[in-house]
């Protein structure tokens, strides 16, 4: 008798304290030890325009703090290293990241790079797959965050993604030292998001959920039902936030959804894919395209290529998220692919490779870059079954629009 699939064994650990709600930024003053010397990090200035910067400064008026600005979307190693120098020179002992996922990600790198004892901290990112403990972080400056863009869940996970300009590489790193000590989630800070960033955030969140949900059916009802609920919320709340940027309820639902989507909870006990992300990161490294846009361009091709393996979950999603009760599993899986493309397009997200600057002439380069992950980084093949090799990448790209 075939054994019924169930949960993979797991450990669940997430130590980040969440402070959620309107007007919670003043709580910063009690969250960071009074004697700390803080480096506050931020991006290109959105926090100065929307009043978040002033709220943080007011909350920390009795603390000692310096500032480091200019962290760009798809944050860069080269720029982050300037903050590493400041941390060492000024004996910084607390980092406060204020902004979107890019600001938090760069700050996470800074936190371990400032404590790295060898020559080049980039080795912790680019050589992490070697499994050589020399390249693992041993210590980190503690981090707190004030998140202003719901998308990455970097505010409640132990990962970051960093790009190196000189080599056009974009890699991710995960380590338990990287969980923020706390994160403040005030939905009002997201009122000023431009439409395209609200859309990016919703799509990134959606695809985080499906990278963990649309894999093998293992009868994991808890993560499955949470994932389906989160997908439903993204589909129903995103149009409301786009229509009325100050809809607190929509913004609050989107903010908490994005955190819940990638704080490890729905990953526990299930098989995870992440092929869409791996291919997307290579496209961003090549063309500079927004992270979420690359994911939306790859999802249709990946799902079409892997439909047989993912069929049960795609059919389950058709029933439970898109309400299709009739038909075969095959028809339901096709329905999910079609409805997801329609949802993305309906909120203004394109699902074509041309929208992220990729044409047929780039397919070999993308495949070669993925191959480098396997050979140079010694990373395993992609997908929940580790069966997507460089040759498969070309076929996936051919199935994208
Ligand atoms: O730089 P500022 O001026 O702050 O402007 C930002 C930026 O231009 C702006 N913005 C942020 N909050 C705003 C706002 N504008 C107005 N009002 C606000 N409240 O939005 C722009 C994009 O910000 P960014 O931080 O780049 O976006 P996001 O949060 O989507 O982060 C994307 C990065 O995260 C990585 C991606 O690869 C990409 O590099 N990811 C990180 C993950 C993680 N740490 O777990 C997982 C993800 O899959 C993802 O790969
Ligand atoms: Zn993502």
* Element housing 98 (H / E): strand 94-99
Identify whether the C-beta of residue 211 lies closer than 8 Å to the C-beta of residue 276: yes
Which residue out of 149, 179, 282 has the highest number of ligand 1 atoms within 8 Å of its CB and is therefore the one to mutate?
A: 149
ipTM score assigned to the predicted complex? 0.99
Contacts of 196 (CB under 8 A, 6+ apart): 290, 348
Residue 257, CB-side half-sphere exposure with 13 Å CA sphere: 27
Atom from ligand 1 closest to the CA of residue 72: 1
Which residue out of 22, 152, 160, 189 has the highest number of ligand 1 atoms within 8 Å of its CB and is therefore the one to mutate?
A: 152
CA dist., res. 160 & res. 178, Å (int)? 8
CA dist., res. 366 & res. 371, Å (int)? 9
CA dist., res. 332 & res. 315, Å (int)? 5
3-state secondary structure of 351: coil
Atom from ligand 1 closest to the CA of residue 149: 12
Which of the ligands is closest to the CA of residue 53?
1
Q: Give residue 304 CA to ligand 1 midpoint distance, Å.
A: 29
Neighbours of 357 (CB within 10 A): 15
Contacts of 269 (CB under 8 A, 6+ apart): 7, 8, 10, 218, 220, 222, 223
Note down pLDDT in tens along the chain; length 401 residues. Answer: 556 789 999 999 999 999 999 999 999 999 999 999 999 999 999 999 999 999 999 999 999 999 999 999 999 999 999 999 999 999 999 999 999 999 999 999 999 999 998 889 999 998 866 667 788 999 999 999 999 999 999 999 999 999 999 998 999 999 999 999 999 999 999 999 999 999 999 999 999 999 999 999 999 999 999 999 999 999 999 999 999 999 999 999 999 999 999 999 999 999 999 999 999 999 999 999 999 999 999 999 999 999 999 999 999 999 999 999 999 999 999 999 999 999 999 999 999 999 999 999 999 999 999 998 887 777 789 999 999 999 999 999 999 98
Identify whether the C-beta of residue 144 lies closer than 8 Å to the C-beta of residue 181: yes
Residue recorded with tokens 């703090």: 65
- Going by CA atoms, what residue is nearest to atom 31 of ligand 1? 101
Q: Which residues line ligand 1 (CB under 6 A)?
A: 43-47, 50, 73-74, 99-103, 105, 148-149, 151-154, 157, 159-161, 189-190, 192-193, 197, 200-201, 204, 262, 277, 291
Q: Give residue 80 CA to ligand 2 midpoint distance, Å.
A: 20
For 342, the token pair is 């329609």
């Amino acid at each position: 008798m075939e054994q019924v699939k169930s949960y993979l064994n797991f450990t669940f650990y997430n130590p980040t304290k969440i402070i959620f709600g309107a007007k919670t930024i003043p709580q910063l003053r009690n969250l960071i030890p009074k004697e700390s010397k803080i480096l506050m990090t931020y991006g290109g200035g959105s926090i100065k325009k929307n009043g978040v910067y002033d709220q943080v400064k007011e909350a920390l008026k009795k603390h000692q703090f310096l500032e480091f600005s200019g962290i760009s979307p798809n944050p860069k190693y080269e720029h982050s290293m300037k903050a590493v120098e400041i941390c060492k020179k000024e004996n910084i002992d607390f980092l406060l990241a204020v902004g979107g996922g890019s600001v938090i990600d760069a700050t996470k790198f800074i936190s371990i790079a400032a404590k790295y004892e060898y020559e080049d901290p980039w080795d912790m990112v680019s050589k992490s797959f070697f499994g050589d403990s020399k390249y693992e972080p041993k210590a980190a400056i503690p981090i707190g965050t004030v998140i202003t863009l719901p998308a990455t869940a970097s505010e409640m996970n132990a990962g970051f993604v960093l790009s190196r300009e000189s080599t056009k590489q974009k890699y991710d790193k995960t380590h338990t030292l990287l969980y923020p000590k706390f994160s403040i989630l005030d939905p009002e800070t997201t009122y000023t998001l431009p439409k395209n960033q609200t859309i990016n955030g919703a799509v990134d969140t959606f695809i985080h959920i499906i990278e963990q949900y649309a894999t093998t059916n293992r009868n994991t009802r808890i993560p499955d039902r949470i994932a389906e609920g989160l997908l439903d919320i993204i589909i129903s709340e995103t149009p409301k936030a786009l229509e009325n940027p100050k809809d607190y309820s929509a913004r609050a639902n989107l903010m908490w959804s994005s955190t819940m989507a990638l704080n490890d909870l729905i990953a526990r006990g299930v098989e995870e894919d992440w092929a869409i992300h791996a291919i997307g990161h290579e496209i961003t490294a090549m063309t500079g395209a927004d992270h979420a846009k690359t994911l939306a361009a790859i999802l249709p091709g990946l799902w079409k290529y892997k439909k047989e393996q993912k069929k049960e979950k795609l059919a389950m999603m058709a029933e439970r998220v898109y309400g299709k009760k009739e038909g075969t599993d095959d028809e339901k899986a096709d329905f999910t692919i079609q409805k997801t493309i329609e949802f993305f397009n309906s909120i203004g997200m394109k699902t074509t490779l041309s929208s992220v600057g990729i044409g047929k002439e780039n397919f070999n380069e993308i495949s070669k870059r993925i191959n480098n992950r396997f050979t140079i980084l010694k990373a395993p093949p992609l997908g929940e079954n580790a069966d997507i090799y460089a040759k498969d990448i070309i076929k996936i790209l051919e199935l994208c629009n």
